[in-house]
Amino acid sequence: MANELLWLRNVWDTSTPKGLIIMEQAQIISKAKEFTDALHTLEKGTLDDVGQLVGLYASDATLANSALDNKGQELNGRDQILQFWTQYKETLGDVFSNFHHITVSEDSAGLFWTTEGTNPGGDKVHYHGSTLLVFNPEGTIQFFRGYYDTRELTLKPEH
């Protein structure tokens, strides 16, 4: 409830707290599109394309998701984030993420998606979830948080 009220205040209140830098909504949408475009390039391409995606992150960015939570981990910095996206491509193989809803605030975007395809072993991949991207004043991703049911990502052979 408090977060909902904060969001409503930010939408309707045009004053900015001292020191807070707010990006324009169009900038946030553009940054979210850069992310989805870079992910699609990686999904359609090769491991050589991972750098484009990782380049969207701040050097001290944090990445967390449901699978990392299960291990009590989060990733910090571009090197670990590079390893994450490399493993994503190697593990999931030929997949495509359909981003069906995007919502934005003054410094973040919420992406809602379904990912489908075939892994390198020929098994079907299908899962859905949401991603929170929080941008710093320079417009790079400071914090990435993926939410999904890890049971959906358990790879199952086609029958």
pLDDT digits (tens, 9 = 90+) for 102-134: 999 999 999 999 999 998 989 899 999 999 999
- Residue 15 inside a domain? The answer is no
- Give the pLDDT mean for 125-152: 94
- Residue 1 inside a domain? The answer is no
Residues 6+ apart with CB under 8 A from 14: none
The CATH number covering residue 60 comes to: 3.10.450.50
- Residue 70 inside a domain? The answer is yes
Strand order in the sheet with 57-65: 75-76, 57-65, 141-148, 124-135, 108-118, 94-104
Residue 93 has pLDDT above 80, yes or no: yes
* Structural domain harbouring 33: 25-148
Residue 158 has pLDDT above 90, yes or no: no
- Residue 103 inside a domain? The answer is yes
Average pLDDT over the chain, rounded to an integer: 86
- Residue 61 inside a domain? The answer is yes
**How many Cα atoms occupy the beta-carbon half-sphere of 24 within 13 Å?**
3
- Residue 9 inside a domain? The answer is no
CA distance linking residue 152 with residue 47, whole number of Å: 24
Q: How confident is the model at residue 10 (pLDDT cuts 50, 70, 90)?
A: very low
Query: How many distinct structural domains can be found in the chain?
Result: 1
Q: How confident is the model at residue 62 (pLDDT cuts 50, 70, 90)?
A: very high
For the chain, how long is the longest CA-to-CA vector?
Answer: 59
Q: How many helices (H) and strands (E) does the chain have?
A: 5, 6
- Residue 155 inside a domain? The answer is no
